[in-house]
Chains A and B, each alone.
Chain A
Amino acid sequence: MTDRFAEKLGLSASYWEESLNKPVHYRVVRAIPGAILFLLVGFTGGFFGLGGGWAVVPVLNLVMAVPLKVAAASSGVLLAIGNAAAIWPYIVKGALIAIFAAPWMIGQVIGGILGAHILAKVKAAFVRNILIVLLILTSLKLIARGIEGWFGIDIPLL
């Protein structure tokens, strides 16, 4: 049923895998559960202020069967659109401090360009391993934040 829905939306595509030197064809599945999970990701991001970047790639890759590299690239697009809408209130209220945001923006742009070029060339397994480490670290940080809020203690974790 849900796969039929994904098929109706035409959610299948191909991309050229540089590390394999051949194209990879993929078909997106479970579009409805994916959409529901994105709703939850957006809700938790908005409610707890956690940001949704940590969850977008796993939902795309593990639930919707999008290849990891495509999931990583797509999450960038999704986050850019979502964050662009969310950041304007801060800009017009003067809450975006330019001297702090400027180094972040320069680093983000340069890092983003480098990362995208590297992502296209490395093997998917390498990306997966890095992602697993990052997700574990992010989870630890989020758990620490929750414990801090719950018990009113300070955990010195990044």
Chain B
Amino acid sequence: MSQHTPSSEERPHIPVAGVVYGDTIYWITIAATVIVIIGSVISFVTNNTYIDPTYMLSSIWEGKTVDEIWVGAVGAAPNGHWYLSKLATGNGLTAFGIALGVFSVIPAILAAGYVLFREKQVLFAILALVAALITTWAMIA
């Protein structure tokens, strides 16, 4: 291993791109977690749910497929970001929180890529952009 004792004992400079990436993901994920907690509470405490949690759990234990569960609950399986139109319900809000947590990677990579580009690390900035594009494509495709 090429690890060795440094001559300088000063604290190394933390790469700004790493800090930007970490901070962006950190705060969006915490916001998403709070939304997920609120959504879960609404799902279980109130009747304001898109799909009844009891029906969902019993269907899973019965071994039904995802499509069968959705068809049985709301008549059709979703194909897209269904939760965006159901934010007032517990399930919708919980799913939105999870999606927001997953989404946090995209702005974080783009922000880090921008910083890398400003620091003239063009190769890594392009790689960050490619990673963000692949993730965005997976989200909208």
> Which residues of chain A have a CB within 8 Å of any CB of chain B?
9-10, 13-16, 22-27, 29, 65, 67, 77, 80-81, 84-89, 91-99, 101-103, 105-106, 109
Contact of B66 among A22, A77, A88, A94 (CB under 8 A): A94
Q: How many A-B residue pairs have CB under 8 A?
A: 119
Tell me, yes or no, whether B15 is within 8 Å of chain A by CB.
Answer: yes
Tell me, yes or no, whether B57 is within 8 Å of chain A by CB.
Answer: yes
* Alpha-carbon separation in the docked complex, A9 to B126 (Å): 13
* Alpha-carbon separation in the docked complex, A142 to B30 (Å): 32
In the complex, the answer to whether B98 meets A101 with C-beta atoms within 8 Å is: yes
18 contacts between A and B (CB under 8 A): A15-B12, A25-B6, A25-B12, A65-B2, A81-B109, A84-B102, A84-B135, A88-B102, A91-B81, A91-B98, A92-B80, A94-B70, A96-B98, A102-B40, A105-B33, A105-B36, A105-B98, A109-B29
Minimum distance in angstroms from B42 CB to a CB of chain A: 11
Determine which residue in A24, A65, A88 has the highest number of CB atoms from chain B within 10 A of its CB, and name it.
Answer: A88
In the complex, the answer to whether B12 meets A99 with C-beta atoms within 8 Å is: no
* Alpha-carbon separation in the docked complex, A22 to B7 (Å): 10
In the complex, the answer to whether B138 meets A88 with C-beta atoms within 8 Å is: yes
In the complex, the answer to whether B98 meets A98 with C-beta atoms within 8 Å is: yes
The 7 closest A-B pairs by CB, nearest first: A14-B12, A84-B105, A98-B94, A94-B78, A88-B138, A85-B138, A27-B2
* Alpha-carbon separation in the docked complex, A120 to B109 (Å): 23
In the complex, the answer to whether B6 meets A99 with C-beta atoms within 8 Å is: no
In the complex, the answer to whether B11 meets A16 with C-beta atoms within 8 Å is: yes
Name the interface residues of B1-22: CB closer than 8 Å to any CB of A.
1-6, 8-12, 15, 21
In the complex, the answer to whether A87 meets B36 with C-beta atoms within 8 Å is: no
Tell me, yes or no, whether B88 is within 8 Å of chain A by CB.
Answer: no
In the complex, the answer to whether A91 meets B102 with C-beta atoms within 8 Å is: yes
In the complex, the answer to whether A99 meets B33 with C-beta atoms within 8 Å is: no
Besides A23-B9, A77-B21, 19 more A-B contacts (Cβ < 8 Å) are A15-B12, A22-B6, A23-B8, A25-B4, A26-B2, A26-B3, A81-B135, A84-B103, A84-B105, A88-B138, A92-B82, A93-B66, A94-B77, A98-B91, A101-B94, A102-B98, A105-B97, A109-B29, A109-B30
